[in-house]
């Protein structure tokens, strides 16, 4: 019998679902579970549930597990190993690293989900052969992770690249969920595209054709979803196409800014909105962004890790914690 010398656990905490995967020392996922993220409880509910699920589902392997990695919705406080004031989960503030470490008796590392994902790209995905990479997610929100010169960027609390809040509209037409105006995410994230559609219906000059679309009426009534908009755009509905084209302009401005700031070799794109609508989200970015950047154009592509980008990032984090994170944690120990 081949003796498995080391196993790793990766955890992806999302606004809707939490996933836990067990991987071998090559990073191959051996077993994966998924359950709804808890939305009620106290600061320890999430950690307690994670421990319970790990003990229940991975009992036989637990002895061989060397470390646990977590990619979580933010904002994070890496120093305290917790999520602080998250706008997308019912329990806004909760501890992760401390209680898991204590209960499982293993090293536990955590990062913001997109920051973990770019580390996953570096180890297993699109950024394997480069030291300069960006991961961007188009999902409920818009987020990113960045590696420059081989170093995973963290910032003072671990939120170094809240790229979704880059200002892309100096006219400040729409207010973002964070309270700021003109932020990329406020227009182009899955949760906010319907609000942008409503703004377009109310304030932009539209053609007769666009106004005759049934979606124009739904937009005015605030009854659209991103799914409906992308579905109807694929069927050539004029109003849906108009909204998607406006979103593309915003996305091009955002991605071009990210490239101009970080000078990556690779830009990997993930998240459900992008993965479900590559021809309307990823392809226009690939086509339009190179015209709007000063730096040598990077490779822009759909993440090869698909919807598992964060979970692979969490596994990569457990297997090979980035030196910037270890230094960050040491500094405050």
177 vs 284, beta carbon nearer Zn ion: 177
122 binds Zn ion (CB under 5 A): no
Q: Which stretch binds Zn ion (CB under 5 A): 84-92, 114-122, 178-186, 262-270?
A: 178-186
Q: Is 191 left (phi over 0), alpha (psi -120 to 50) or beta?
A: alpha
195 binds Zn ion (CB under 5 A): no
Which residues on adjacent β-strands are paired with residue 269? 136, 302
Q: Which of 165, 233, 243, 247 binds Zn ion (CB under 5 A)?
A: 165
How far is residue 286 from each of residues 121, 290, 298, 299, measured CA to CA in Å? 18, 7, 10, 9
Query: Which region, judged by CB under 5 A, interacts with Zn ion, from 33-41, 112-120, 143-151, 160-168?
Result: 160-168
Least distance in angstroms from the C-beta of 268 to Zn ion: 23
Query: Is there binding between residue 178 and Zn ion (CB under 5 A)?
Result: yes
- Binding-residue pattern over the window 31 to 70 for Zn ion, x denoting contact by CB under 5 A: ----------------------------------------
Q: How far is the CB of 176 from Zn ion (least distance, A)?
A: 3
Give the nearer residue to Zn ion in terms of CB position, either 44 or 181. Answer: 181
| CB closer to Zn ion out of 142 and 224 | 142
Only one of the segments 11-19, 86-94, 100-108, 183-191 lies at the binding site for Zn ion (rule: CB under 5 A); that segment is: 183-191
183 belongs to the binding site for Zn ion (CB under 5 A): yes
- Minimum CB–partner distance for residue 166 and Zn ion (Å): 9
Near Zn ion by CB under 5 A, which window of 169-177, 277-285, 289-297, 308-316?
169-177
**Residue 161 within binding range of Zn ion, rule CB under 5 A:** no
Among 47, 176, 280, 316, binds Zn ion (CB under 5 A): 176
- Which one of the spans 157-165, 255-263, 269-277, 310-318 is the region binding Zn ion (CB under 5 A)? 157-165
Candidates 41, 90, 180, 222; binder of Zn ion (CB under 5 A) is 180
Q: Which of 270, 226, 42, 16 is nearest to 137 (CA)?
A: 270
CB of 113 to Zn ion, least distance (A): 17
Of all residues in the shown chain, the one whose CB is closest to Zn ion is: 176
Binding site for Zn ion (CB under 5 A): 165, 176, 178, 180, 183
């Amino acid at each position: 019998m081949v003796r498995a010398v080391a196993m790793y656990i990766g955890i992806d905490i999302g606004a809707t679902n939490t996933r836990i995967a067990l991987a071998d020392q090559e990073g191959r996922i051996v077993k994966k579970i998924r359950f709804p993220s808890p939305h009620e409880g106290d600061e320890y509910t999430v950690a307690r549930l994670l421990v319970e699920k790990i003990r229940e589902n991975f009992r036989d392997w637990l002895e061989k597990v060397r470390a646990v990695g977590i990619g979580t919705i933010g904002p994070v406080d890496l120093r305290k190993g917790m999520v602080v004031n998250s706008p997308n989960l019912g329990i806004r503030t909760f501890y992760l690293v401390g209680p898991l470490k204590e209960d499982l008796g293993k090293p536990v590392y955590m990062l913001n989900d997109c920051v973990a994902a770019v580390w996953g790209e570096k180890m297993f995905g699109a950024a394997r052969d480069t030291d300069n990479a960006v991961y961007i997610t188009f999902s409920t929100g818009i987020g990113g992770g960045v590696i420059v010169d081989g170093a995973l960027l963290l910032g003072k609390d671990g939120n170094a690249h809240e790229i979704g809040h880059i200002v892309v509209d100096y006219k400040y037409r729409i207010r973002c969920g964070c309270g700021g105006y003109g932020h990329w995410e406020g227009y182009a994230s899955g949760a906010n595209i319907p609000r942008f559609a409503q703004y377009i219906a109310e304030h932009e000059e539209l053609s007769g054709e666009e106004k005759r679309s049934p979606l124009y009426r739904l937009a005015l009534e605030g009854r659209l979803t991103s799914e409906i908009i992308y579905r109807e755009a694929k069927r050539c509905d004029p109003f849906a196409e108009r909204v998607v084209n406006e979103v593309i302009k915003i996305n091009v401005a955002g991605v071009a800014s990210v490239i101009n700031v970080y000078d990556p070799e690779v830009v990997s794109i993930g998240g459900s909105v992008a993965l479900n609508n590559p021809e309307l989200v990823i392809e226009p970015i690939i086509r339009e962004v190179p015209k709007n950047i000063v730096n040598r154009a990077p490779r822009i592509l759909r993440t090869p890790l698909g919807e598992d980008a964060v979970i692979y990032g969490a596994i990569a984090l457990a297997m090979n914690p980035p030196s910037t994170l270890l230094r960050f944690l040491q500094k405050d120990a």
